[in-house]
Amino acid sequence: MSYFGTDGIRGKFGVFPITPEFALKLGFAAGKVLKRRTKRNKPIVVMGKDPRLSGYILEAALQSGLNAAGVYVHLLGPLPTPAIAHLTRALHASLGIVISASHNPYHDNGIKFFSSEGKKLPDEFQDEINAELEKDIVIDDIASLGKSVRVDDAPGRYIEFCKSTFPYHYDLNNLKIVVDCANGAAYNVGPAVFRELGAKVIAIHNEPNGLNINQGCGSTHPESLQAAVVEHQADLGIAFDGDADRVILVDQNGKLIDGDHILYILATQSANKPAGIVGTLMSNMALELALEKAEVPLIRAKVGDRYVLQGLEENGWVIGGEPSGHILTLDKSTTGDAIIAALQVLTVMVEQKKALHELVADFKLLPNVLVNVRLDAMFDPYSVPALAAEFANAEAQLKGRGRLLIRKSGTEPVIRVMVEGDNLQEVTALAHALADAVRANAAA
Contact between residue 183 and residue 205 where contact means Cβ atoms under 8 Å apart? yes
Q: What CA–CA distance (Å, rounded) separates 395 from 401?
A: 10
Catalytic residue among 100, 102, 148, 333: 102
Contact between residue 376 and residue 345 where contact means Cβ atoms under 8 Å apart? no
If one counts every other C-beta atom within 10 angstroms of the C-beta of residue 400, the result is: 9
Classify residue 201 by burial, with Cβ atoms within 10 Å: 0-12, 13-18, 19+.
buried
237 SS3 class: strand
Phi/psi for 422 (5° steps) reads -90, 0
Contact between residue 105 and residue 213 where contact means Cβ atoms under 8 Å apart? yes
Q: What CA–CA distance (Å, rounded) separates 408 from 325?
A: 22
Q: Looking at residue 144, what DSSP letter applies?
A: G
CA distance between the termini of the chain: 34
If one counts every other C-beta atom within 10 angstroms of the C-beta of residue 275, the result is: 11
Contacts of residue 422, Cβ cutoff 8 Å, sequence gap at least 6: 366, 367, 401, 402
If one counts every other C-beta atom within 10 angstroms of the C-beta of residue 353, the result is: 8
Q: Rounded to 5 degrees, what angle do the CA atoms 417, 421, 422 make?
A: 155
Q: What CA–CA distance (Å, rounded) separates 277 from 289?
A: 13
Q: What CA–CA distance (Å, rounded) separates 114 from 121?
A: 5
Q: Give the residue among 50, 10, 49 at the shortest CA–CA distance from 218.
A: 50
Q: Looking at residue 173, what DSSP letter applies?
A: T
Contact between residue 229 and residue 254 where contact means Cβ atoms under 8 Å apart? yes
Q: What CA–CA distance (Å, rounded) separates 52 from 268?
A: 38
Which segments within 205-293 are labelled E, that is strand?
A: 236-240, 247-251, 256-257, 277-280
To the query of whether residue 283 is one of the catalytic residues in this protein, the response is no
Active site residues: 102
